[in-house]
Amino acid sequence: MKNNKGIALIATFFVICILLIFLGAFLSTDINQSVTSDIFRRRTKAFYLAESGLDQAITWLRSQPSPPVGNHTDPWGGIQNLGGGTYSVTITDLGIIAGSGSVRRYQVTSTGSFRNLNRSVSSYIQVDNYSRYLWFTDREVFNGTTVWFWTQDHLNGPTQTNGHFNIMGNPIFESQARSVDTYIRFFNNGNNINLSQTTNPPYDSPDFQQGMFFGVTPTTMPNRAQALRNAAAAGGLSLTGNSTVVLLSDGTMNVTNPGREWTNHNMALPANGTLFVNSGNLTISGTLSGRLTVGANQNVIIPNNILYADDPRTNPDSTDVLGIIAEEDVILTSGAPSDLEIDACIMAMGTSFYMQNWWIGPPKGTLTVFGGIIQDERGPVGTFNSSTGQKVSGYSKDYEYDQRLLGSPPPFMPTTGDYVVLSWEEN
């Protein structure tokens, strides 16, 4: 009997020990989980504080009358307190992007701190300019007449209109499409439809592969290429009167200008990559080797292909880049080739980029633009039969964005007055 009691006591002792071990393990796990949860919470808050610093930096940059020069640390008055923690920001001025002439870039580093735990994030931010767009219009009309995207149109790059898009059939938009208005006008039913309410409008089905965004902030188009004018006069080539430029693949160009008594005058590209024509039109074609922006205070006329000597679609290291700016219109001649290619960022400040006699058949082939088109009013480059959807005159459109233009715009392209974030990472 005594032995049985001893065995029972020993068993009870072992059970109690096991229970104590499990209790200790449970308490240890609970404490570890609590510590881990607290660290996660502090890390999360520190991260959000760091992101708040980046937002504050962009807000501060936008509030300055011009892109600030030099480095700045917490320029709004020291380390900021927020939500029980703090953030501190350093804005490093990286200077003007080489070859751009006017686009300044910054590195912004922000450190958030919450209860002795720090996290740091950084981003590269630069002055925004119009070469960031594949397609930009102030209005999707031409002389008061609606201009349509239609089935044979294909756009591969960021698009924005300060109005609304007009859609017939099934055009393809591979990148984000943005509209200041809150609706799209569809051809076949004539209604203004908000795609947030219906994604299958009757008869017309545009393919917005990266989404359609309504009610975005408008961007004001400039009407004068002042930076380009100044640069051409100061170290580029400034001409007066109607002029013709033929670009050559050896890095030179042939220039015709009666005022200077030049006829196919061969010369190197201007040292600062700028050419501007005052009191006249500029006619341009050929193959570019180098960096160049050309402009005219009247029209820029394109009679033939404009290509890059070193095509960046096959050689990512190509540095060939072209900007074309007209303070009036950019005009494709009716005698241009059936299949026409323009490698450039094109900007028509006065009215439009359009084809001469665009309403007259027979139809041509495809207009390929590798770069971007920015214009006040959307210009037509052809027509289609509203009953059959078949092309009647002019070109189908194949517009592809040159991704290099965001980080390396053509010389002295106009800026938007805003800033764009190029990249983001946690340090």
The set of residues, in sequence order, having a beta carbon less than 8 Å from that of 313 and lying 6+ positions away, is 370
What's the pLDDT tens digit per position in 230-282? Answer: 999 999 999 999 999 999 999 999 999 999 999 999 999 999 999 999 999 99
pTM across the whole model: 0.84
Give the pLDDT mean for 301-306: 98
Q: How confident is the model at residue 151 (pLDDT cuts 50, 70, 90)?
A: confident
* pLDDT score of 19 more than 60: no
CB 194 within 8 A of CB 179: no
Phi-psi region of 150 (alpha: psi -120 to 50; beta: other; left: phi over 0): beta
* pLDDT score of 284 more than 90: yes
* pLDDT score of 382 more than 70: yes
Q: How confident is the model at residue 169 (pLDDT cuts 50, 70, 90)?
A: confident
What is the predicted pLDDT for the residue at 9? Answer: 61
* pLDDT score of 306 more than 90: yes
Backbone angles phi, psi at 85, to 5 degrees: -130, -165
Q: Omega of the bond prior to 362 within 30 degrees of 0, cis? A: yes
What's the pLDDT tens digit per position in 329-371? Answer: 999 999 999 999 999 999 999 999 999 999 999 999 999 999 9
Q: How confident is the model at residue 417 (pLDDT cuts 50, 70, 90)?
A: confident
* pLDDT score of 15 more than 70: no
Rounded to the nearest 10°, the torsion over CA 343, 344, 347, 351 is: -20
CB 192 within 8 A of CB 262: no
* pLDDT score of 311 more than 90: yes
What's the pLDDT tens digit per position in 394-405? Answer: 999 999 999 999
Span of 50-54, 112-116, 202-206, 380-384 with lowest mean pLDDT = 202-206
What is the predicted pLDDT for the residue at 269? Answer: 98
All structural domains of the chain with their residue ranges: 2-130, 133-413
Which comes out higher in pLDDT, residue 387 or 325?
325
What is the predicted pLDDT for the residue at 198? Answer: 44
Burial of 300 (0-12, 13-18, 19+ CB in 10 A): buried
Give the pLDDT mean for 146-154: 88
Tokens describing residue 200: 């299958």
Give the pLDDT mean for 88-115: 94
